[in-house]
Homo-oligomer: A and B are copies of this chain.
């Protein structure tokens, strides 16, 4: 998957200008860092990984602040909420999908199912409800973990 990071940063720049916000190094760097990290992440995990990378630095506070902006901009989503954990995903250039979460090993499997999406829209119509976003998490045990048992 070769999403164009420069393109995303260019659009994010426009987004920030539209909001009269500044285009800072940290904000642009974080896009690179999250894209480099390349998988679902929790904030703590990302903070540690960035510390090890050591070339670029973004503080925990800025990460929290910027993640909110990136969610509003639409390239990051809170995809799993489990107990006190929040797992984010960089979704730029990806089709909408939902997740299977293994409660044994934590593995996250993405799946796309247009029929489920369509049915959700029907439900919303039925209740005259305007959907903004949704999250479907299916918790269970993956094939590997079942085999292991």
By the criterion CB–CB under 8 Å, are A129 and B141 in contact?
yes
Q: Decide: A123 near B140, CB < 8 A? Known: A129-B109, A132-B103.
A: no
CB A49 to nearest CB in B, in angstroms, measures 24
Using Cβ atoms and an 8 Å threshold, which residues of chain B touch A141?
Answer: 129-130, 132
Integer count of this chain's copies in the complex: 2
The one of B116, B129, B136, B140 that contacts A143, using a Cβ cutoff of 8 Å: B129
CB A123 to nearest CB in B, in angstroms, measures 5
Using Cβ atoms and an 8 Å threshold, which residues of chain B touch A140?
Answer: 124, 129-133
By the criterion CB–CB under 8 Å, are A129 and B134 in contact?
no
A124-149: which residues lie under 8 A (CB-CB) from chain B?
A: 124, 126-143, 146
